[in-house]
Amino acid sequence: MSNQSRRDERGFTLLELLVVIAILGLLIGLVAPAALRQLGSARTSVARQSIERISSILDMYKLDVGSYPSSDQGLRALVEQPTGVTGWNGPYVKGNVPVDPWNHAYVYREPSTRAGHDFDLCSNGPAGSGGSDMICNQ
């Protein structure tokens, strides 16, 4: 076998592999943060849409029953008929009580603590601690 054919069969050098790994590392370092930001904003958008959908369901509940569920009854009133409530025509949602995109329970209060709202329906946000991350019905 000639010297030229042996050189063609050697494959990649260690330096070539290190360069490829370094380039891949740089690409991942640039792309991953942007992808994670998109995921975070997508969950926030889903939370806002879910709050609006649940608010519409609460409006249907009010049409049937005559009032919104109390804070004590909570969103469970959309799944199971509360005791002493007449006119309930549910369940208004299938399955269990809805949770936010971060798998935390929604915060529901009736009457609202905010002016101009009948009730408060909020997600405590990604950390689940509320504060400035809180997302509420409009």
Q: How confident is the model at residue 134 (pLDDT cuts 50, 70, 90)?
A: confident
Residues 6+ apart with CB under 8 A from 94: none
Burial of 75 (0-12, 13-18, 19+ CB in 10 A): buried
CA atoms within 13 A on the CB side of 47: 27
Residues 6+ apart with CB under 8 A from 34: none
What pTM value is reported for the model? 0.70
Which tokens hold the place of 27?
A: 């690409």
Per-residue pLDDT tens over the stretch 14-52: 888 899 999 998 888 888 787 777 776 788 889 999 999
For the chain, domain boundaries: 15-136
Domain 15-136 is in which class? alpha beta
DSSP assignment of 27-78 equals: HHHHHHHHHHHHHHHHHHHHHHHHHHHHHHHHHHHHHHHSSPPPTTTGGGGG
Q: Which residues, listed in sequence order, are joined to residue 136 by a DSSP beta bridge?
A: 122
